């Protein structure tokens, strides 16, 4: 295959093993693909601060999609543009008000690399501490200093449906929401119209690589648009069924080098 491909990788449950590592085999395949002129980028729901380590580990020099498309930038090239699309401040405060009528554990708002917790929570603060963000705790209606990039509502499984239903009724026009996979019962909210495919479109223009030469890997519902957009949208073996049903193909799981094995075969890299 002499044509260059753009390869977009989700992190959790896709590129990363369950121990949150990139396996040596997959790393070798990615290095060979880049050597042969293919372009590799990360597209994740994570903030930049907790995905930068993998960006560095792979030695990337490409754009990166964070917060499921609410923040897209190129760490090595300012000409690419800096796309930050936060929620409206009034909407954010409204969402907090809404949650107060339901039972929930916590609400977390992130403004780029600043994290705001509605309630103090050592366990959650620990999870969000990757990349050493500035952490503020206190009623979000007062403590939020700007428009959040994303908001997370941590609740019980039986409350998720009720809260999501209400948010849809009240804010459908201005927000997009998704649920995280178990074990965390979390509703994630970003501004309407944002998703990972938006980042892929920008990269496609930047590199002049058409969608039919984009290979994207994912496992969750925040990968749906990206997998649908890419000419080669590949679901992991451990992916949710709705993603497998729209994907062009299904590879092995994230524990079985699914990304590495698939790229090795497709691009005929002869590494594994």
- The domain locations on the chain are 6-84+194-266, 89-191
Question: pLDDT of the chain along its 272 residues, tens only?
Answer: 468 999 999 999 999 999 999 999 999 999 999 999 999 999 999 999 999 999 999 999 999 999 999 999 999 999 999 999 999 999 999 999 999 999 999 999 999 989 999 999 888 888 888 888 999 999 999 999 899 999 999 999 899 999 999 999 999 899 999 887 667 789 999 999 999 999 999 999 999 999 999 999 999 999 999 999 999 999 999 999 999 999 999 999 999 999 999 999 999 999 99
Where on the phi/psi map is residue 268: left (φ > 0), alpha (ψ -120 to 50), or beta?
left
* CB 42 within 8 Å of CB 54: yes
Instruction: Tell me what pLDDT residue 185 has.
Output: 87
pLDDT at 130: 81
Is residue 10 part of the annotated active site? The answer reads: yes
pLDDT digits (tens, 9 = 90+) for 235-270: 999 999 999 999 999 999 999 999 999 999 999 999
Q: How confident is the model at residue 269, as a pLDDT?
A: 97
- Percent of the chain past pLDDT 90, that is, above it, reads 87
Q: So what's the pLDDT on residue 2?
A: 67
Q: Is 6-84+194-266 assigned to CATH 3.40.50.2000?
A: no
Name which of 266, 271, 241, 237 is nearest 254 in CA terms: 237
Pick the CATH number of 89-191 from 3.90.550.10, 4.10.520.10, 3.30.1240.10, 3.40.50.2020: 3.30.1240.10
What one-character-per-residue DSSP string does 82-143 give?
Answer: EEE-PPPHHHHHHHHHHHTTS--SEEEEEETTEEEESS--HHHHHHTTTT--EEEES-HHHH
pLDDT of 122: 86
- Residue 179 is predicted with a pLDDT of 83
The confidence score (pLDDT) of residue 245 equals 98
Q: Are 14 and 263 in contact (CB under 8 A)?
A: no
């Amino acid at each position: 295959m002499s044509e260059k491909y753009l390869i977009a990788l989700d992190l959790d449950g896709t590129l990363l093993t369950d121990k949150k590592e990139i396996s040596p085999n997959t790393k070798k395949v990615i290095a060979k693909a880049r050597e042969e002129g293919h372009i590799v980028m990360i597209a994740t729901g994570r903030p930049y601060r907790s995905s930068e380590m993998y960006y560095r580990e792979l030695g990337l020099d490409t754009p990166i999609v964070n917060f499921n498309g609410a923040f897209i930038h190129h760490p090595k090239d300012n000409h690419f543009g800096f796309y930050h699309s936060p929620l409206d401040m009034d909407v954010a405060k409204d969402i907090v008000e809404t949650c107060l009528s339901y039972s929930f554990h916590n609400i977390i708002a992130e403004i780029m690399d600043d994290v705001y917790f509605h309630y103090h929570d050592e366990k959650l603060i620990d999870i969000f501490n990757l990349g050493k963000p500035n952490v503020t705790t206190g009623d979000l209606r007062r403590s939020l200093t700007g428009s959040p990039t994303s908001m997370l509502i941590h609740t019980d499984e039986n409350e998720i449906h009720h809260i999501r239903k209400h948010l849809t009724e009240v804010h459908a026009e201005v927000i997009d929401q998704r649920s995280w996979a178990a074990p965390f019962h979390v509703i994630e909210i970003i501004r309407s119209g944002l998703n990972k495919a938006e980042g892929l479109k920008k990269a496609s223009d930047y590199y002049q690589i058409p969608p039919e030469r984009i290979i994207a890997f994912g496992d969750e519902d925040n990968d749906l648009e990206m997998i649908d957009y890419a000419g080669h949208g590949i679901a992991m073996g451990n992916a949710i069924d709705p993603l497998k049903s729209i994907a062009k193909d299904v590879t092995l799981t994230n524990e079985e080098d699914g990304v590495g094995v698939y790229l090795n075969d497709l691009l005929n890299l002869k590494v594994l």
